[in-house]
Structure formats: C-alpha cells, structure tokens
Amino acid sequence: MRRVLIIGATSAIAQAVGRLYAVPGTRFFLVGRTAEKLQAVVTEYQARGATVVGTHLWDAQRWAEAIELVEQARERLQKFDVVLIAHGNLPEQQQLWHDLTQTLEQFHINATSIIALLTALVPVMEQQQQGVIGVLSSVAGERGRMQMAVYGAAKAAVTAFAAGVRGYLTPFGVRLITIKPGYVDTPMTAHLPKNPLFASPERVARRIYRALERGGPDILYVPWWWRLLMAGVRLVPERLFKHLRI
C-alpha cells in the first residue's frame, strides 16, 4: 500500500504524477485551492482504482496553517510514503515592479508556504524514519532574471531551504528530491510564448515518478538537459548578464 500526500494536487504536473500512482492499493490525501477542480481529480483517481481518504482546500497565502494541514493528512493516512509539494504561481513580473503588496504575496505563495510545509513535515518524517518528499522548485531559481525576479528569488529560497531539510532528514532514512523543471506546457505558463524548450506535463511527471519510486539525484532537472543549459547560464558574467532582456 502506498500512502501519498499531494499538495497542489490540481496543478498539471501534480495531476500527471498522481495518475501514475492512482492504482488499486494507493491511498491519497489531496490538497488543492479550488473545490471543483479538486473533486475532478478525486473522481479520476478513484476511477483508476485508488482510494482517496481525504481532501483539504488550502490557499498557499494561508501558509501559517501548514502544521494543521500536515496533521490532518497524517491523521487520515497514518504515515507518508510519498509527499509531493507542487503548488505555485507564475506572476507577470512587469506588474510587480511597482506593487509591493503583490510582490510579497507572490513570494509567500512560491516560497514561504513551501518552507512552512517542509518545516511542518520535518518532525513527522523524522519520527517515521522512512519516505520520500518531492519539492517542485524551478530552473528559474538558478539565477536572477529581469522577467522572473520575484518567482526566481522564491524558487532560489525553496532550493536552498530544501537542501537544508535534506541534510537534516538523511540520517533518518528520508529522501528529499528538489525538482527543477524548465518550461512546462501548463495553464500556469499559458501567457508565455511557446518554443521548443517546453515539455509536456506527462513527460515531466514520468521522470518525477521514477525518481520518487526508484531513487535518483537529490536535485532533479526535468528534462535532464536543463542541467547543462543552466550550467552555461551560470557561467555568463554578471556584467553581461544584466543586459540580457530575459
């Protein structure tokens, strides 16, 4: 029996990962922001033979409720074999340059809420001494960019905090995988012009599933070639990089 907690369960990537787990014997606790979308996911997974033992409506701006959310999920599942944290939002940076309130809200959605969830999960995973956590960060966190300044800063914070959590939980037999997708063709990126760098949610999900189930790198770039591309981006001197309109 697999006991799976998915936070951000209505996102395209999370739904695609969940489908791979949605087989008889899997028990889900699903967290999402919209009741109608969350119910659609529940119905699909149940049709595939999985059992959904509970759902929770949660907006990432309510990050202070992270402990309550995790406790409710543990009460229903008893333990976590797999945790996937996959919520987030990709704001249009141009709208944020002169809006402090929105800037902070977007940072809390994409960073503070994830830090809060990981902090709430630490004592639970430490006690059960098994399981795997997958955390969606992004290649956008590798370097500050004009067009993704807030989103990139948030994902850099997630990556750094996840590394600290990984170091703490490793002696307890718990794995933590920081997942760094590149461009993925989802509703979150619908406002971006498409190009050959975009991957499908299904392709990304298959790689995430393999890493969660079979092991893999602590930091997972999906598709794999983003590791090479971002290595090149990090080598560009700042005096040149600051002039790039990206």
Q: What distance in Å separates the CA atoms of residue 20 and residue 39, rounded to the nearest whole number?
A: 18
Domain extents in the chain: 2-241
In contact, 213 and 169? CB cutoff 8 Å: no
CATH no., domain 2-241: 3.40.50.720
Show Cβ contacts of residue 11 under 8 Å, excluding neighbours closer than 6 positions.
Answer: 86, 87, 88, 186, 188
**Closest by Cα among 138, 131, 188 to 158:** 138
**What pLDDT band is residue 190 in, cutting at 50, 70 and 90?**
low
Nearest C-alpha neighbor of 17 from the set 82, 81, 72, 80: 82
The helix/strand/coil state of 177 is strand
Q: What is the pTM of this model?
A: 0.94
Residue 160: which pLDDT band, with cuts at 50, 70 and 90? very high
Per-residue pLDDT at 127 exceeds 90: yes
Average pLDDT, the chain: 94
CB of 194 within 8 A of CB of 200?
no
